[in-house]
Chains A and B, each alone.
Chain A
Amino acid sequence: MLGSARGAGHDLALGIGDLGAAVAVLTDESVAAGARGVEVRDSVAGSSGEIATVSSAFRSGADVEHALERASERIGRVDAVVDVSSPGLGAVPTPVAELDEDGWVVRAETPLRRARYRLQGAYRHLRGGGGRIVVILPSLSMTGASGLVPWVSVSEGYRALAKAAARAWGTEGITINCLAVPADLLAVGAPASSDPSSYDGQAEDRVEGPVPSLDRPGLPAPALGRSPEMRTEVAAAVATLLDEGFRFVTGATVAVDGGVWMTP
């Protein structure tokens, strides 16, 4: 798993571990990764999974590739890469008119660039043997949200890049699919303030769940009665995408939001 050892990433790692997979959490949270990794391992005790944590700067595709190599030394061959990166400041609603250039870059351009690094690193590690890539994105990336223009731009850019990669790498046995989940799930663990110095994994003040809804007011209730939980329903959906039955699905986006938007 590429992403945070906190919040959404933490819960998803536990859920995938619950389902029997060996999981390595590759995180760019260099300050907190060690302690948090222990916490993740402790809290997964009793599940059949194995959890390891590898910290990396993720400043290039090579960084990600090397981190995956270290992960495979810990847990064995990596069959799948799940990207559940934190939106960082992108989850702090801010109108475009109130953003300066630095604010735009840290919320939009840097995360999109790093998404590319993660895809490139995952590919370099998986090529030769094939594998699956699953990208977890906010469902509002398909519908838009006020105050979240940078995060939605990154997410839609990432979806388009994932489709391009799916077309490029399919004949090498690598599939890439996206799971769209409620944004609130991904915002947990994101920096709680809009101070740029709190971004990039250094924040001490973070959003702890539950977070206020980031979606539009007045939406229909989820058809299934509630939002999914990361550790159970979302983890199960990820596992399904990694199942043999999904081996011929690539470039797709599956919404796991309990039936809110029902987008095409």
Chain B
Amino acid sequence: MTSSTGAGVAGRPLDGKAVMVTGGGAGIGRAICLCCADAGAGVVVAGPGRNGAETAELVMARGGRAVWSQTDVALAGDVEAAVAVAVDQYGGLDAVVHNATSRRSSEVEIIDELTDELWDDHVGVSLRGAFNCARAALPALRGRSGRLVLMTSPAAMEGTPARPAYAAVKGAIRGFAKSLSIEWGPLGVTVAAVSPLAVTPALGNAYLEDPELEARLQRLVPLGRIGDPETDIAPVIRFLCEDGSRYITGQTIVVDGGRFTSL
């Protein structure tokens, strides 16, 4: 475990708050950790690998507060332990961002040949992970105007023939978020989904498999480029953790440069 109490800067939007980020070791997850920490939050980087510790070190190198909790989100005990780390380290937990997805998310699959093994990997990380996060975090989130933010994908809304399991679990995440927002509304806890289009390690792998993909995506995006995790995507998640977003719940926030306009 790596941690630092760090020195806060007065007036930042997440000062005094604690945010837990699953899949915080790389890509968008790491960007969310850095962005929320820059805004004053104490961050729990919940991830299975050592890159979670590296994210925590990067946060601290920028003067922020972070702790890595080794977490497989498919395991309820790991998620409960990560929540306990937040409570122990920061005195509570204000927001959970479930960003983790299967390491095999970028694999091209044929729906007819989709195996139980690959399916279970997607379901375990995305869907069981969401369930585990919700169950483990609710006691900490209620009473603090808590937030649960779940990362979904354009594939959830449009379908993708190349990654049907990924589409299915990301679609399920949207249903999860919509229903839980209604269930938790009376508890003062909001739930939102975010659908990003960003340059990530997974997209980088997809570029390698399909060299034309990047140019095609850029033509599809009115803003003419693929989003940057730290400067285009993470600030939106940070906002969803701030007080100013307290009347947003049950929504899918699409952060994709205008690519998808028919929600």
The reply to whether B111 and A147 form a contact with Cβ atoms under 8 Å apart is no
Q: Which residue of A lies closest to B110 (CB)?
A: A168
B186-202 at interface with A (beta carbon < 8 Å):
none
Name 29 A/B residue pairs within 8 A (Cβ), A-sorted: A96-B131, A96-B134, A96-B180, A97-B134, A101-B76, A104-B128, A108-B131, A108-B172, A109-B123, A116-B114, A141-B175, A143-B178, A144-B177, A144-B182, A144-B250, A146-B183, A149-B176, A152-B178, A153-B172, A155-B175, A156-B176, A157-B171, A158-B168, A161-B111, A161-B164, A161-B168, A161-B171, A169-B111, A264-B263
Q: Which residues of B contact A168 (CB under 8 A)?
A: 110-112, 161, 164
Which residue in A113, A143, A156 is a CB contact (below 8 Å) of B116?
A: A113
A137: min CB distance to chain B, Å = 10
B224-263 interface mask toward A, CB cutoff 8 Å, 1 = contact, 0 = none? 0000000000000000000000000010000000000011
Contact B182 A153 (CB under 8 A): no
A251 within 8 Å of B by Cβ?
Answer: yes
The minimal Cβ–Cβ distance linking B42 to chain A, given in whole angstroms, is 25
Q: Min CB distance, A65 to chain B, in Å?
A: 10
Selected from A123, A159, A169, the residue in CB contact (under 8 A) with B171 is: A159
* 1/0 contact string of B135-174 vs chain A (CB within 8 Å): 1001000000000000000011111110110011111111
Check if B127 is an interface residue, CB within 8 A of chain A: yes
In the assembled complex, which residues on chain A have CB atoms less than 8 Å from the CB atom of B111? Answer: 119-120, 123, 161, 164-165, 168-169
Task: Kindly list chain A residues whose C-beta atoms are within 8 Å of the C-beta of B250.
Answer: 144
Indicate if A166 sits at the interface (CB-CB under 8 A).
yes
Cβ of B179 under 8 Å from chain A: yes
Q: Are A147 and B114 in contact (CB under 8 A)?
A: no
A124 neighbours in B (Cβ, 8 Å): 112
User: In this assembly, does B71 line the interface, its C-beta being within 8 Å of a C-beta of chain A?
Assistant: no
Q: For A96, give the chain B residue with the smallest CB separation.
A: B134
Q: Is there contact, CB below 8 Å, between B182 and A167?
A: no
Contact between A108 and B127 (Cβ–Cβ < 8 Å)? Answer: yes
Count B-side interface residues using an 8 Å CB cutoff. Answer: 43
For A, the interface residue count at a CB cutoff of 8 angstroms equals 46
- Complexed CA–CA distance, A216 and B181 (Å): 12
For A97, A99, A119, A144, the residue with the greatest tally of chain B CB atoms inside 10 Å of its CB is: A144
Give chain B nearest CB distance to A215 CB in angstroms.
Answer: 10
Nearest-neighbor residue (CB-CB) of B250 within chain A: A144
Cα distance A159–B155 when bound, in Å? Answer: 11
* Bound form: Cα–Cα A165–B168 in Å: 10
Q: Which of A107-160 contact B (CB under 8 A)?
A: 108-109, 112-113, 116, 119-120, 123-124, 141-149, 152-160
- List B contacts of A162 (CB < 8 A): 159
Distance of A163 Cα from B179 Cα, bound (Å)? 21
Query: Is A99's CB under 8 angstroms from B183's CB?
Result: no
CB-CB under 8 A for A157 and B183, given A163-B159, A164-B168, A168-B111: no
Asked if A95 lies at the interface with its beta carbon under 8 angstroms from chain B, I say yes
A199 to B175, CA, bound (A): 22
* Shortest beta-carbon contacts, A-B, top 7: A163-B159, A160-B171, A144-B178, A156-B175, A157-B172, A168-B161, A164-B164
- Give the distance to chain A from B220, nearest Cβ to Cβ, in Å: 15
